Chains A and B, each alone.
Chain A
Amino acid sequence: MDIKVDVRESKGDSYVVDLNGEIDVYTSPKVKDAIGELIDKGHYNLVINLEKVRYIDSTGLGVLIGGLKRVREHGGTVNLVCTNPQIKKIFDITGLVKIFGIYDDEDAAMQALV
C-alpha cells in the first residue's frame, strides 16, 4: 500500500499534483509534504489529480482541506480531478463538494483556476 506523488508545473504559475495509489493515515503525510512544499514556495493555484487514487480516508481529506485553507489565505485555490464514484461519494457525504471544485478532467480543473 503506497502512494505515488508527482508534481509538475502547468499553465501560468499553477501546478498539478498527480496522485496514484491509496491515501490513508500511513500515506497521507507524503501527500501533505508535497502540497506543503509547493505552498511554501509560493505556489497557490493547484490542481490535485485524484484520477488514479483508489482509496481515500479522512486523513487524506484532512490533507486536502489543510492545503485549501493555506492557499486561500493567499488568494489561491485547489481544484480536484476525480472520476472514481466511490471517492466522489466520500466528498459528497462529507459536504466537501461545496468546498472544493471537483472536475472530471484536468483541463476543466485547470481552466477553473483562472
Chain B
Amino acid sequence: MNQPVAHPQGTLGVVELRIPSKAEWVAVARLAVAAVANRLNFSIEDIEDVKLAVAEACTNCIQHAEGSGQIQITCETGPDGLTVRVCDFGGSARPEGIRSRRADEPTVGGLGVFLIRSLMDSVEYDVNPDRGTNLVMTKKVAH
C-alpha cells in the first residue's frame, strides 16, 4: 500500500487539491497531503511535519489575504521527497502576515511561517497583491 509507484519521467506524480479559503477546510488539505506523503518513504514524524506545515500555509492564506476564496495545494512527489505549493490566487496579502518569529516572548500569532521553516527542508514564498501568495516548500525523504 505504501510502496512508491515509479514514474517514467523521474517524478512519481502530481496531486492537486483546491479548497475554499475557509477554516473548516484546512483539515481536509492537511489530511490529503499527509496521505500523499504516506505514499513516499517518509517516517511518521516527517509526515506529521508536512501535515502541520501545509496547514500553517493554508491558515496563513485564510488569515492574511482576501483572495478569490480558493486555495490551491499542489503536491509534486519525486524520488527525493515531496514539494508542496500552496497559493491563494490574487489576494491582498499583508506582508506582516508572513514574517516569521520565534516565541521567545509570549505573543499571539506569527508562529506559522516559523513552524513551516522549522519543519520543512526548504521554503520559498512570493507575496504579490495581484498574484496572491505562492508558497513552495520541500521535504526530503531521509535515505
Contact = CB atoms under 8 A, between A and B. Distances in A.
Interface residues of A, number: 25
Given A57-B55, A57-B59, A98-B104, A24 B26 contact: yes
Nearest to B58: A25
Count class of interface residues, chain B? 20 to 34
B111 interface: yes
Nearest to B45: A86
A20 interface: no
Nearest to B60: A58
B124 interface: no
Interface string A38-67: 000000000000000001011101100110
Given A25-B63, A59-B59, A86-B48, A94 B108 contact: no
Interface of A: 1, 22, 24-26, 55, 57-59, 61-62, 65-66, 68-69, 72, 86, 89-90, 93-96, 98-99
